[in-house]
A = this chain, B = another copy of it.
Amino acid sequence: MRAPKGLEGVIVDSTAISVSDPEGYIIYRGYDLSELAEKSSFEETAYLILNGRLPSSTELKEFRLSLAKNRDVPPMVMRTISQLPKRSPMMDVLRIGVSLLGSFDRERDLQNTESNMRKAIKLVSRTATLVANGFRVVHGGQRPVKPNAKLDHSSNFLYVLKNKTASQLHVRSFEQTLILYMDHDFNASTFATRVVGSTLADAYSAASAGLAALKGPLHGGANEKAMEMLRNFKSVEEARDWVKQTLGRKERIMGFGHRVYRKIDPRVPVAKNILRRLSEENSQTAKLLDICLAVEEVMWSEKQIPPNIDFYAAPIYYSLGIPIPTYTPIFALTRMVGWSAHFIEQVETNKLIRPNAEYVGQRGLKYVPIEMRN
Protein backbone atom coordinates (compact mmCIF):
# COMPACT_ATOMS: atom_id res chain seq x y z
CA MET A 1 0.00 0.00 0.00
CA ARG A 2 1.28 3.43 -0.95
CA ALA A 3 0.29 6.29 1.39
CA PRO A 4 0.23 9.96 0.34
CA LYS A 5 3.34 11.93 1.31
CA GLY A 6 3.32 13.26 4.88
CA LEU A 7 0.70 10.57 5.64
CA GLU A 8 -1.87 13.26 4.87
CA GLY A 9 -5.36 11.95 5.51
CA VAL A 10 -4.08 8.47 6.39
CA ILE A 11 -5.58 6.80 9.47
CA VAL A 12 -2.62 5.04 11.06
CA ASP A 13 -4.24 3.81 14.29
CA SER A 14 -7.21 4.34 16.60
CA THR A 15 -7.27 6.48 19.73
CA ALA A 16 -9.77 7.11 22.51
CA ILE A 17 -8.04 10.29 23.68
CA SER A 18 -9.07 13.08 21.35
CA VAL A 19 -10.27 13.92 17.89
CA SER A 20 -9.88 17.03 15.76
CA ASP A 21 -12.63 17.07 13.18
CA PRO A 22 -12.24 18.89 9.83
CA GLU A 23 -15.76 20.23 10.38
CA GLY A 24 -14.33 22.36 13.16
CA TYR A 25 -14.66 20.73 16.55
CA ILE A 26 -12.34 18.99 18.99
CA ILE A 27 -13.33 16.32 21.51
CA TYR A 28 -11.24 15.33 24.54
CA ARG A 29 -12.43 11.98 25.92
CA GLY A 30 -16.05 12.61 24.98
CA TYR A 31 -16.25 16.31 25.92
CA ASP A 32 -16.32 19.25 23.55
CA LEU A 33 -13.10 21.23 23.96
CA SER A 34 -14.87 24.61 23.87
CA GLU A 35 -16.98 23.58 26.87
CA LEU A 36 -13.93 22.30 28.77
CA ALA A 37 -11.99 25.51 28.07
CA GLU A 38 -14.91 27.51 29.43
CA LYS A 39 -15.72 25.44 32.52
CA SER A 40 -12.86 23.13 33.44
CA SER A 41 -9.47 23.69 35.09
CA PHE A 42 -6.01 22.63 33.90
CA GLU A 43 -5.88 19.87 36.51
CA GLU A 44 -9.36 18.54 35.77
CA THR A 45 -8.73 18.44 32.04
CA ALA A 46 -5.31 16.83 32.47
CA TYR A 47 -6.90 14.19 34.72
CA LEU A 48 -9.57 13.62 32.08
CA ILE A 49 -7.04 13.19 29.28
CA LEU A 50 -4.83 10.85 31.29
CA ASN A 51 -7.57 8.78 32.95
CA GLY A 52 -10.39 8.89 30.44
CA ARG A 53 -12.98 10.51 32.74
CA LEU A 54 -13.44 13.61 34.87
CA PRO A 55 -12.25 13.21 38.47
CA SER A 56 -14.37 13.20 41.64
CA SER A 57 -13.56 15.89 44.23
CA THR A 58 -11.29 13.50 46.13
CA GLU A 59 -9.51 12.35 42.99
CA LEU A 60 -8.99 15.91 41.85
CA LYS A 61 -7.57 16.90 45.23
CA GLU A 62 -5.10 14.01 45.10
CA PHE A 63 -4.14 14.76 41.50
CA ARG A 64 -3.56 18.44 42.30
CA LEU A 65 -1.42 17.41 45.25
CA SER A 66 0.74 15.00 43.24
CA LEU A 67 1.32 17.66 40.59
CA ALA A 68 2.23 20.19 43.28
CA LYS A 69 4.54 17.78 45.13
CA ASN A 70 6.50 16.94 41.99
CA ARG A 71 7.45 20.45 40.92
CA ASP A 72 11.01 20.49 42.18
CA VAL A 73 13.63 19.58 39.61
CA PRO A 74 16.79 17.74 40.79
CA PRO A 75 19.52 20.35 41.53
CA MET A 76 21.92 18.71 39.04
CA VAL A 77 19.42 19.33 36.25
CA MET A 78 19.08 23.04 37.05
CA ARG A 79 22.86 23.29 37.45
CA THR A 80 23.37 21.80 33.99
CA ILE A 81 20.83 24.14 32.45
CA SER A 82 22.53 27.12 34.07
CA GLN A 83 25.74 26.15 32.23
CA LEU A 84 24.17 26.18 28.76
CA PRO A 85 25.14 29.00 26.40
CA LYS A 86 23.12 32.12 27.25
CA ARG A 87 19.96 32.50 25.14
CA SER A 88 19.98 28.87 23.99
CA PRO A 89 16.64 28.09 22.33
CA MET A 90 14.21 27.19 25.10
CA MET A 91 13.07 24.06 23.28
CA ASP A 92 16.67 22.80 23.45
CA VAL A 93 16.79 23.65 27.17
CA LEU A 94 13.58 21.69 27.62
CA ARG A 95 14.71 18.66 25.60
CA ILE A 96 17.93 18.53 27.59
CA GLY A 97 16.09 19.02 30.88
CA VAL A 98 13.50 16.31 30.24
CA SER A 99 16.20 13.92 29.00
CA LEU A 100 18.08 14.51 32.26
CA LEU A 101 14.95 14.03 34.39
CA GLY A 102 14.80 10.47 33.08
CA SER A 103 18.21 9.70 34.57
CA PHE A 104 16.99 10.59 38.04
CA ASP A 105 13.78 8.58 37.96
CA ARG A 106 14.39 5.11 39.36
CA GLU A 107 11.24 3.67 37.85
CA ARG A 108 12.09 5.12 34.42
CA ASP A 109 12.32 1.77 32.64
CA LEU A 110 9.29 0.11 34.28
CA GLN A 111 6.91 -0.42 31.39
CA ASN A 112 3.43 -0.66 32.92
CA THR A 113 0.49 1.73 33.02
CA GLU A 114 0.58 2.42 36.75
CA SER A 115 4.24 3.42 36.62
CA ASN A 116 3.81 5.33 33.35
CA MET A 117 0.96 7.28 34.96
CA ARG A 118 3.28 8.35 37.80
CA LYS A 119 5.88 9.36 35.23
CA ALA A 120 3.24 11.35 33.36
CA ILE A 121 2.53 13.42 36.48
CA LYS A 122 6.24 14.02 37.09
CA LEU A 123 6.78 14.96 33.44
CA VAL A 124 3.85 17.39 33.36
CA SER A 125 4.76 19.00 36.65
CA ARG A 126 8.52 19.30 36.16
CA THR A 127 8.35 20.43 32.55
CA ALA A 128 6.47 23.52 33.75
CA THR A 129 9.25 24.24 36.23
CA LEU A 130 11.88 23.67 33.52
CA VAL A 131 10.18 26.20 31.25
CA ALA A 132 9.79 28.89 33.90
CA ASN A 133 13.12 28.51 35.67
CA GLY A 134 14.94 27.56 32.48
CA PHE A 135 13.88 30.87 30.96
CA ARG A 136 14.86 32.80 34.08
CA VAL A 137 18.33 31.27 34.12
CA VAL A 138 19.22 30.89 30.42
CA HIS A 139 17.53 34.00 29.03
CA GLY A 140 16.83 36.29 31.94
CA GLY A 141 20.11 35.95 33.82
CA GLN A 142 17.95 35.52 36.95
CA ARG A 143 17.97 33.01 39.77
CA PRO A 144 15.47 30.15 39.75
CA VAL A 145 12.36 30.60 41.91
CA LYS A 146 11.19 27.82 44.20
CA PRO A 147 7.77 26.52 43.06
CA ASN A 148 4.93 27.16 45.49
CA ALA A 149 3.11 23.92 46.33
CA LYS A 150 0.06 25.85 47.54
CA LEU A 151 -0.68 27.27 44.08
CA ASP A 152 -2.43 25.44 41.27
CA HIS A 153 -0.49 24.49 38.12
CA SER A 154 -1.23 27.64 36.11
CA SER A 155 -0.79 30.14 38.97
CA ASN A 156 2.43 28.46 40.02
CA PHE A 157 3.86 28.59 36.49
CA LEU A 158 3.23 32.33 36.18
CA TYR A 159 4.51 32.87 39.73
CA VAL A 160 7.81 31.04 39.07
CA LEU A 161 8.30 32.64 35.66
CA LYS A 162 7.90 36.19 36.98
CA ASN A 163 8.56 35.74 40.70
CA LYS A 164 5.26 37.55 41.26
CA THR A 165 1.71 36.43 41.88
CA ALA A 166 -0.50 36.93 38.81
CA SER A 167 -4.07 38.30 38.91
CA GLN A 168 -7.02 35.93 38.75
CA LEU A 169 -7.92 37.18 35.27
CA HIS A 170 -4.39 36.56 34.03
CA VAL A 171 -4.19 33.10 35.59
CA ARG A 172 -7.54 32.05 34.15
CA SER A 173 -6.71 33.39 30.68
CA PHE A 174 -3.43 31.49 30.73
CA GLU A 175 -5.06 28.32 32.06
CA GLN A 176 -7.63 28.37 29.26
CA THR A 177 -4.90 28.43 26.61
CA LEU A 178 -3.27 25.42 28.32
CA ILE A 179 -6.55 23.53 28.02
CA LEU A 180 -6.83 24.49 24.34
CA TYR A 181 -3.28 23.24 23.56
CA MET A 182 -3.43 20.11 25.72
CA ASP A 183 -4.02 17.49 23.04
CA HIS A 184 -4.70 17.24 19.33
CA ASP A 185 -4.79 13.59 18.21
CA PHE A 186 -1.94 12.52 15.90
CA ASN A 187 -0.13 15.82 15.31
CA ALA A 188 3.56 15.51 14.39
CA SER A 189 5.00 15.64 17.93
CA THR A 190 2.41 13.23 19.33
CA PHE A 191 3.08 10.90 16.43
CA ALA A 192 6.85 11.12 17.11
CA THR A 193 6.10 10.24 20.75
CA ARG A 194 4.03 7.24 19.66
CA VAL A 195 6.70 6.03 17.20
CA VAL A 196 9.22 6.03 20.07
CA GLY A 197 6.66 4.44 22.43
CA SER A 198 6.09 1.67 19.89
CA THR A 199 9.67 0.43 20.42
CA LEU A 200 8.76 0.19 24.15
CA ALA A 201 11.39 2.80 25.04
CA ASP A 202 10.69 4.67 28.30
CA ALA A 203 8.37 7.65 28.84
CA TYR A 204 11.23 10.18 29.07
CA SER A 205 12.66 9.03 25.74
CA ALA A 206 9.23 9.37 24.16
CA ALA A 207 8.72 12.84 25.66
CA SER A 208 12.12 13.93 24.33
CA ALA A 209 11.01 12.99 20.83
CA GLY A 210 7.81 15.00 21.28
CA LEU A 211 9.85 18.01 22.35
CA ALA A 212 12.25 17.49 19.44
CA ALA A 213 9.36 17.58 16.95
CA LEU A 214 7.57 20.51 18.58
CA LYS A 215 10.66 22.67 18.08
CA GLY A 216 10.15 22.68 14.31
CA PRO A 217 8.89 25.91 12.71
CA LEU A 218 6.24 23.87 10.83
CA HIS A 219 4.84 22.70 14.16
CA GLY A 220 5.23 24.39 17.57
CA GLY A 221 7.45 27.20 16.39
CA ALA A 222 4.53 29.08 14.79
CA ASN A 223 3.21 30.96 17.85
CA GLU A 224 6.54 32.71 18.48
CA LYS A 225 6.88 33.63 14.81
CA ALA A 226 3.31 35.00 14.75
CA MET A 227 4.05 37.27 17.71
CA GLU A 228 7.33 38.49 16.25
CA MET A 229 5.29 39.62 13.27
CA LEU A 230 2.39 41.13 15.25
CA ARG A 231 4.53 43.15 17.66
CA ASN A 232 6.08 45.06 14.79
CA PHE A 233 2.83 46.61 13.61
CA LYS A 234 2.22 50.10 14.92
CA SER A 235 -1.29 50.36 13.48
CA VAL A 236 -4.07 48.40 11.86
CA GLU A 237 -3.25 50.06 8.51
CA GLU A 238 0.39 49.07 8.71
CA ALA A 239 -0.58 45.48 9.49
CA ARG A 240 -2.98 45.35 6.53
CA ASP A 241 -0.40 46.76 4.12
CA TRP A 242 2.38 44.49 5.29
CA VAL A 243 0.27 41.35 5.00
CA LYS A 244 -0.86 42.28 1.49
CA GLN A 245 2.72 42.98 0.41
CA THR A 246 3.98 39.74 1.94
CA LEU A 247 1.25 37.74 0.22
CA GLY A 248 2.15 39.54 -3.00
CA ARG A 249 5.69 38.18 -2.65
CA LYS A 250 4.10 34.72 -2.17
CA GLU A 251 5.59 34.47 1.32
CA ARG A 252 3.97 32.66 4.19
CA ILE A 253 2.18 34.33 7.11
CA MET A 254 2.69 32.36 10.33
CA GLY A 255 -0.34 31.29 12.37
CA PHE A 256 -2.63 30.68 9.41
CA GLY A 257 -3.93 27.46 7.88
CA HIS A 258 -4.02 23.98 9.36
CA ARG A 259 -3.62 20.47 7.97
CA VAL A 260 -6.89 19.37 9.60
CA TYR A 261 -9.20 22.40 9.54
CA ARG A 262 -10.27 23.89 6.24
CA LYS A 263 -12.88 26.33 7.59
CA ILE A 264 -12.25 26.98 11.25
CA ASP A 265 -9.88 25.95 14.00
CA PRO A 266 -12.36 25.52 16.89
CA ARG A 267 -9.78 26.82 19.35
CA VAL A 268 -9.72 30.21 17.67
CA PRO A 269 -13.13 31.56 18.84
CA VAL A 270 -12.28 30.57 22.43
CA ALA A 271 -8.87 32.24 22.26
CA LYS A 272 -10.38 35.32 20.63
CA ASN A 273 -12.80 35.64 23.55
CA ILE A 274 -9.95 35.41 26.04
CA LEU A 275 -8.12 38.17 24.18
CA ARG A 276 -11.30 40.26 24.09
CA ARG A 277 -11.72 39.93 27.84
CA LEU A 278 -8.11 40.96 28.38
CA SER A 279 -8.51 43.92 26.04
CA GLU A 280 -11.24 45.34 28.28
CA GLU A 281 -8.69 46.04 31.00
CA ASN A 282 -5.81 47.16 28.83
CA SER A 283 -5.73 49.56 25.88
CA GLN A 284 -2.51 48.06 24.48
CA THR A 285 -4.23 44.69 24.31
CA ALA A 286 -7.26 46.30 22.68
CA LYS A 287 -4.98 47.68 19.97
CA LEU A 288 -3.30 44.30 19.53
CA LEU A 289 -6.71 42.64 19.16
CA ASP A 290 -7.66 45.12 16.44
CA ILE A 291 -4.44 44.33 14.60
CA CYS A 292 -5.09 40.59 14.85
CA LEU A 293 -8.63 40.99 13.54
CA ALA A 294 -7.35 43.10 10.64
CA VAL A 295 -4.69 40.54 9.70
CA GLU A 296 -7.30 37.77 9.90
CA GLU A 297 -9.63 39.76 7.65
CA VAL A 298 -6.97 40.39 5.00
CA MET A 299 -5.88 36.74 5.06
CA TRP A 300 -9.48 35.69 4.52
CA SER A 301 -10.35 38.16 1.79
CA GLU A 302 -7.07 37.62 -0.10
CA LYS A 303 -6.45 33.91 0.44
CA GLN A 304 -9.45 32.36 2.26
CA ILE A 305 -7.04 30.98 4.87
CA PRO A 306 -8.36 31.06 8.45
CA PRO A 307 -6.11 31.62 11.49
CA ASN A 308 -5.12 28.75 13.75
CA ILE A 309 -4.75 28.66 17.54
CA ASP A 310 -1.12 29.89 17.39
CA PHE A 311 -2.21 33.19 15.90
CA TYR A 312 -4.45 34.03 18.87
CA ALA A 313 -2.54 32.29 21.69
CA ALA A 314 0.51 34.45 20.92
CA PRO A 315 -1.16 37.85 21.61
CA ILE A 316 -2.76 36.43 24.79
CA TYR A 317 0.66 35.50 26.13
CA TYR A 318 2.04 38.85 25.03
CA SER A 319 -0.74 40.65 26.90
CA LEU A 320 0.07 38.64 30.02
CA GLY A 321 3.65 39.89 29.80
CA ILE A 322 5.01 36.42 29.00
CA PRO A 323 8.34 36.52 27.11
CA ILE A 324 8.15 35.33 23.49
CA PRO A 325 10.89 32.63 23.73
CA THR A 326 8.63 30.68 26.13
CA TYR A 327 5.58 30.45 23.82
CA THR A 328 6.53 27.16 22.18
CA PRO A 329 7.75 25.75 25.53
CA ILE A 330 4.35 26.65 27.05
CA PHE A 331 2.69 24.74 24.21
CA ALA A 332 5.05 21.87 25.15
CA LEU A 333 4.34 21.95 28.89
CA THR A 334 0.63 21.41 28.35
CA ARG A 335 0.97 19.10 25.32
CA MET A 336 3.07 16.95 27.69
CA VAL A 337 -0.30 15.79 29.08
CA GLY A 338 -1.40 14.65 25.63
CA TRP A 339 1.97 13.08 24.80
CA SER A 340 1.88 11.11 28.06
CA ALA A 341 -1.65 9.84 27.44
CA HIS A 342 -0.72 8.85 23.87
CA PHE A 343 2.45 7.14 25.07
CA ILE A 344 0.42 5.08 27.56
CA GLU A 345 -2.23 4.25 24.95
CA GLN A 346 0.48 3.24 22.44
CA VAL A 347 2.25 0.94 24.91
CA GLU A 348 -1.06 -0.65 26.02
CA THR A 349 -2.12 -1.50 22.46
CA ASN A 350 1.31 -1.74 20.96
CA LYS A 351 2.64 -2.73 17.61
CA LEU A 352 6.05 -1.45 16.43
CA ILE A 353 5.61 1.47 14.01
CA ARG A 354 7.90 0.49 11.13
CA PRO A 355 6.76 1.66 7.70
CA ASN A 356 8.28 0.89 4.31
CA ALA A 357 9.87 3.16 1.72
CA GLU A 358 9.99 3.09 -2.05
CA TYR A 359 13.63 2.86 -3.09
CA VAL A 360 14.30 5.27 -5.94
CA GLY A 361 18.10 5.13 -5.79
CA GLN A 362 20.51 3.30 -8.08
CA ARG A 363 20.94 -0.47 -8.24
CA GLY A 364 23.58 -2.91 -9.38
CA LEU A 365 26.67 -0.71 -8.92
CA LYS A 366 29.95 -2.58 -8.49
CA TYR A 367 32.48 -1.52 -5.88
CA VAL A 368 35.64 -0.12 -7.48
CA PRO A 369 38.78 -0.04 -5.28
CA ILE A 370 39.70 3.52 -4.38
CA GLU A 371 42.97 3.53 -6.32
CA MET A 372 40.98 2.82 -9.48
CA ARG A 373 38.42 5.61 -8.96
CA ASN A 374 38.65 8.99 -10.67
Contact = CB atoms under 8 A, between A and B. Distances in A.
Given A9-B1, A30-B363, A371 B188 contact: no
A359 B3 contact: no
Given A3-B10, A99-B208, A201 B213 contact: yes
Interface string A8-42: 11111111111100000001011100011001100
Give this chain's copy count.
2
A334 interface: no
B15 A357 contact: yes
A339 interface: no
A201 B186 contact: no
Contacts of A55: 370, 373
B358 A188 contact: no
Interface stretch (A87-95, A247-255, A271-279, A290-298): A87-95
Contact of A370 (B10, B57, B185, B353): B57
B19 A357 contact: yes
Contacts of A60: 370
Interface string A192-226: 10011011111011101101111111111100000
A56 interface: yes
A260 B185 CA distance: 29
A17 B358 CA distance: 10
A2 B11 contact: yes
A3 B353 CA distance: 11
A199 B186 contact: no
A192 B207 CA distance: 12
Nearest to A186: B357
A312 B57 CA distance: 56
Most chain B CB within a 10 A radius of its CB, from A18, A19, A56, A212: A212
Contact of A208 (B27, B88, B209, B352): B209
A178 to B, nearest CB: 17
Nearest to A22: B356
A70 interface: no
A3 to B, nearest CB: 5
A330 B91 CA distance: 27
Given A10-B3, A357-B12, A199 B189 contact: yes
Contacts of A360: 14-16
Contacts of A91: 205
B208 A195 contact: no
A188 B354 contact: yes
Contacts of A198: 6, 188, 216, 218
Given A213-B201, A355-B12, A103 B76 contact: no
Interface stretch (A77-85, A120-128, A144-152, A234-242): A77-85
Most chain B CB within a 10 A radius of its CB, from A76, A92, A217: A92
B200 A216 contact: yes
Given A212-B208, A218-B199, A57 B373 contact: yes
Given A30-B364, A88-B103, 7 more contacts: A1-B4, A11-B358, A35-B367, A189-B199, A196-B209, A199-B219, A259-B352
What 4 A-B pairs are tightest by C-beta distance, nearest first? A199-B216, A30-B362, A19-B359, A16-B361
17 contacts: A1-B1, A1-B3, A1-B10, A3-B3, A8-B351, A10-B355, A14-B358, A27-B361, A39-B367, A84-B103, A96-B103, A188-B196, A189-B199, A199-B215, A202-B215, A208-B208, A212-B212
